[in-house]
Chains A and B, each alone.
Chain A
Amino acid sequence: MADEKAGRFPDPHEYQVPPELEGWEEMYPSHYLFSKERQDWEKNQFWYLDKIHAPEPMPPLDLIFQEAWQISLSQYTTRVFCIPPAQGIAQRMIGPYMYICAIAPPPDEVIGEKAQLFEKRVFYVFEHYNELWDKWLTKFKALGEEMKAVEVPKELPKFVPEDQVLPAPTGCYVSYDLVAAFDTLVNKMFKGWQYHFEMLNLTYLAYLMFGDVTRKLFPDISESAIGKMVAGAYVSMFRPEEELCQLSRLATSLSGVAEILKGETTADQKKTELKKSEDGKKWLEAFDKAKDPWFYVSCGSGWFHHEGSWITNLDIPFSYIKSYVERLEKGETIERSLDEVDKERDETVAKYRELITTDEDRESFDGAYKTVRTIYRYAEDHLFWVEHWFHTIWFSKIRDFGKLLVDNGMINEVDDIFMFNRYEIPEILTEVVTGWALGVDIPLRSDYYKAKADKRKKILKAANEWNPIPALGVPPEEVAEPFTIMLWGVTTDKVQEWLKGMGEGEVRPEDISEIKGFASSAGVVEGPARVLKRLKEIVDIQPGEILVCPTPNPSWAPIFTKIKGAITDIGGLTSHAAIVCREYGVPSVTGTGVGTSVIKTGDKIRLDGDRGIVTILERC
């Protein structure tokens, strides 16, 4: 745009972060910073805060997932399946927050070339989806097992063990193994993320296509109706919860087991208790059988190390089991009937289909529906395997390194390793093994790293209190990138809304008494709010509270039986969470943008899931 001021957001090169974040730049790879060299291009792009993948300040090592998706998501669109007018999504950091940019379409000749490749490559995937999915799952599981098998040295021994020297020296030792193990893990993570998008871009494209088709037939159809027609019940992401239900049922059929599980003790105490009886052992056996892979599920989105997982916080699945057992004993049904869900979906589709007025359109609709249904389950299936199972393995391996660094005095706490990015960690590891190789009494720069970790933790904490601007740069003329449209819902209206927000003076959150979002699950409820910014606070939720969070996560399904309603900052009507809310009949308003900053825990609020309105009735 010609006008330098109007219709644009601040130039990212001029945008200032609060002084408390001073020094943030060194936390991330330098190509993630807005730079002089790329200034002309960068300032004319449209950058917006990625609240979906990076709702909170980014710990340096956790950026690896973002790094990996920037490449992988983009390459499938631009170079592999060649979605004709679409380009990739670029990322930059401003303070510890990530901004992303959907790049404008390429020149027409490139679009033409891509269109030819697209037809040839993409239709093949749809034709062969089922067998491709089987292959995908096989190779992905193998990759995860390889990651599990990576041996992280537990210590740097005073002298290498005898068997590594005699009868023949292995020739390479812990000084090599340690750095190599980290490199291997990083490579596997990148590979996993290459796999992640193998069919996802096409899944989203198919979904958008089906959305277009239904909206042409039914101009007033809601996003939630489209979501209902497409979503499947038998997907991996629901399995962890189903396993919990089964374990709970098993508990009630065994003697003495339910009593132990209902107790107020910790998971460890319960396990010790269970080991004392035959039936208890039987139950534990079933538990152990289910836990890999199904309890390798993040307590959050899987994107942050501090979220934890069921497998590392057994208290969480045990607390779900406790409430399921109690409900079973009251004679309640705890399982969602998957057949019912499937049946209901088929009925919904049939009803819309019946309303189509011409046979030609009915045929096209059938074709469109078949196309989207063929591939759509990928959206929910990959999520479990990559963001949950695979990331959980990664976090646990990284903590092995963290422990070794603590043991060697380089950092204070195991999780401090996440304060260093993936390029810095090899440097620390190298320093450690160099010291080990040099002999005894070799000084290391422990204080240097400890101070760095401390400073970075402070920066991240300060960033938590800061609300960065929603967008920077110049809105593009058009976008074609399917993720941008589907996940972030970037539309003309949204951009205008953001632009409008810039002109107004800052409204203090406490002055706001009403916020709006998507009416994603029907019903009106009132109650106390529970604001959940840090995902591990999930155990604090009390029955009857209304959950307010940045974005709910699939693994939270069990708490939906506890809460009265749910409000999220981000997310449209088709997110997994919105679907869960509807299935549990929990009213919800999603995509409010500001829920977690305006509402405070304990505020009395009214959630109107019919209209998408949240009212703050009484401040606590």
Chain B
Amino acid sequence: MKWIYRFDELGKEHNDIVGKKCANLGEMTRVGFRVPPGFALTLGAYERFMKETGAIEEIRRYLATFSADPDNTADMTKYDKASEEMRGILESKEMPEDMENVIKQYYEGVSKTAGISDVPVATRSAGPGSHPGQYETYLCISGSSEVVKNIIRVWSSTFNPRSIIARARLGLSLEYDPIGVAVLKMVNARSAGVMFTLNPVSGDPSVAVIEGNWGLGESVVSGAVTPDVWTVDKVILEIVKESVSTKPKEYLLDTKTGKTMLVDLPPERQNIPCLSKEEILELVKTGMKVEEHYGIAQDTEWAIDDDLPFPENVFMLQCRPEQVWSKRKKESVLGKKSGYELLMARAMKRIKIQE
């Protein structure tokens, strides 16, 4: 059973095998979008690890003695404790040797593609279902042993308190939640953020909305700063609205710890747009291709790599179907009126000048 894939070997048909995020990255690579190079570990890899290292047995033994109510606030500390125990079990295990060797080979492949030895990578979780953000991601991992170690940490994040409580609430078994892992080159993000291929507020499908800040996308996703916002008409490819905010801080990577840090931006960068017009339009064009490919509006994360020239620096980090408007029932907004009826309606209209 194959348990590891390069992105370009994957497609959306692998959703259940490698998790959605990995399958998407694969699909995007295959279609020719710029995504950082990398590879994915399947759910099967997680299962092998759990079985072959005996971790699963130990967890079952631990859980046999555990009881708590996920809806009782007082029990939250119990889950914290359980999480710590079970994560400890996983993280104390060594990767089976044959797996370790294969992972190292794939990692070297990424280093080679990037042209950097021991290229810094991110190890990202990829659930097969839709539990976005429950698991953990580790950034700026450099060197093959570190990569292997952090893959285990991603797996062990299926036992973080949020995830086990979520499983408990859904009445699922606590012992077992296989996920995929994506290992991909770290983007040296000059600017990053999110993009919807429709307006998430109005539902307007003719525009894309980009939010971005300097540095990593975390500041945008977490709401730590008010991002710059662009609304771009996808048909005529023109920016129809722009709001450049004061952005006092950005997230940067501490390459030593692999942790992100929120740092102050120098005053001269705070008020200037974090994207150029050509980058904005390139992002939108890419977003439109992604949307067209999947046949549904997308919610994407992107980054502009500081090391590469335009347009090779415009990366899509992930994409997923937009959840709100795409699912809404389509209703007529024009009330089935004919051209003349619409004209009559307009002729009757008055514009309020005074409030």
List residues of chain A with CB under 8 Å of any chain B CB: 1, 7, 46, 83-86, 105, 111, 115, 118-119, 122-123, 126, 205-206, 208-209, 212-213, 216-222, 224-225, 228, 348, 351-352, 355, 357-358, 360-361, 363-371, 475-480, 485, 490-492, 495, 519, 522, 524, 610-611
Contacts and interface: CB of A to CB of B under 8 A. Distances in A.
A367 B339 contact: yes
Interface of B: 199, 202-207, 231, 233, 235-236, 238-242, 277, 330-340, 342-355
B342 A219 contact: no
A489 B345 CA distance: 20
A492 B344 contact: no
B195 to A, nearest CB: 14
B239 A84 contact: no
B353 A480 contact: no
B7 to A, nearest CB: 31
B354 A1 contact: yes
B353 A83 contact: no
Contact of A371 (B207, B331, B333, B342): B342
A566 to B, nearest CB: 17
Contact of A361 (B238, B332, B352, B353): B332
A118 B353 contact: no
Contacts of A217: 333-334
B354 A206 contact: no
B351 A126 contact: no
Contact of B277 (A352, A357, A524): A524
18 contacts: A83-B347, A84-B348, A115-B347, A123-B340, A205-B347, A209-B342, A212-B346, A212-B349, A216-B334, A218-B205, A360-B332, A366-B339, A367-B338, A476-B353, A492-B352, A522-B238, A524-B277, A611-B239
B340 to A, nearest CB: 5
Nearest to B280: A610
A480 to B, nearest CB: 4
Given A348-B235, A610-B239, 15 more contacts: A115-B348, A205-B347, A213-B334, A219-B203, A221-B204, A221-B240, A222-B240, A225-B235, A358-B330, A358-B332, A361-B332, A363-B336, A480-B349, A522-B239, A522-B277
A208 B342 contact: no
Which secondary structure dominates where chain B touches chain A?
loop
Nearest to A481: B351
Contacts of B337: 364, 367
B241 A220 contact: yes
Contacts of A219: 199, 202-204
A115 B349 CA distance: 12
A141 to B, nearest CB: 29
B346 A205 contact: yes
B350 A218 contact: no
A220 B207 CA distance: 7
Nearest to B330: A357
A123 B338 CA distance: 12
Contact of A368 (B203, B204, B333, B342): B342
A164 to B, nearest CB: 56
A355 B355 contact: no
B201 to A, nearest CB: 9
Contacts of A364: 332, 334-339, 342
Nearest to A224: B238
A519 B239 contact: yes
B351 A480 contact: yes
A331 B231 CA distance: 39
A352 B241 CA distance: 18
B88 to A, nearest CB: 51
A118 to B, nearest CB: 6
Interface pairs A-B: 4 shortest CB-CB: A367-B339, A209-B346, A371-B339, A364-B334
A243 B64 CA distance: 91
Given A219-B199, A219-B204, A220-B204, A84 B332 contact: no
Given A220-B199, A361-B334, A477-B352, A213 B340 contact: no
Contacts of B233: 220-222, 225
A365 B233 CA distance: 19
Given A118-B344, A477-B353, A492-B355, A218 B207 contact: yes
Given A225-B236, A519-B239, A490 B344 contact: no
A572 to B, nearest CB: 14
Contacts of B339: 364, 366-371
Given A220-B206, A611-B242, A478 B352 contact: yes
A490 B342 contact: no
Contact of A491 (B241, B277, B343, B353): B353
Contact of B354 (A220, A368, A475): A475
Report which residue of B207, B338, B346, B354 has the largest number of chain A beta carbons within 10 angstroms of its beta carbon.
B346
A365 B339 CA distance: 8
A119 B355 contact: no
Contact of B350 (A85, A122, A358, A363): A85
Nearest to B332: A360
A476 B354 contact: yes
Nearest to A496: B355
Contacts of A119: 344
Nearest to B344: A119
Given A221-B206, A222-B238, A519-B239, A485 B353 contact: no
Given A206-B343, A209-B346, A371-B340, A491 B351 contact: yes
Nearest to B202: A219
Contacts of B344: 115, 118-119
A26 B335 CA distance: 55
Contacts of A519: 239
A414 B267 CA distance: 62
Contacts of B204: 218-221
B353 A492 contact: yes
Nearest to A611: B242
Contacts of B354: 1, 7, 475-478, 492
Contacts of A213: 334, 342
A422 B223 CA distance: 67
A363 B333 CA distance: 12
Given A220-B204, A367-B339, A371-B340, A351 B347 contact: no
Nearest to B348: A84
Nearest to B231: A220
Contacts of A495: 353
A105 B352 CA distance: 11
Report which residue of A126, A222, A495 has the largest number of chain B beta carbons within 10 angstroms of its beta carbon.
A222
B332 to A, nearest CB: 4
Nearest to B208: A220
Contact of B346 (A111, A208, A220, A611): A208
B330 to A, nearest CB: 4
A85 B343 CA distance: 14
A139 B335 CA distance: 40
Contacts of A348: 235-236
A361 B350 contact: no
B240 A216 contact: no
B332 A355 contact: no
Nearest to A353: B235
A122 B339 CA distance: 12
A83 B207 CA distance: 34
B342 A367 contact: yes
A490 B277 CA distance: 30
A488 B339 CA distance: 25
Contacts of A216: 333-334
A358 B331 CA distance: 7
Report which residue of B207, B233, B242, B351 has the largest number of chain A beta carbons within 10 angstroms of its beta carbon.
B351
Contact of B347 (A84, A221, A485): A84
A119 B239 CA distance: 39
A383 B4 CA distance: 69
A352 B206 contact: yes
B235 A352 contact: yes
Contact of B353 (A366, A367, A479): A479
Nearest to B241: A220
Contacts of A209: 342-343, 345-347
A167 to B, nearest CB: 62
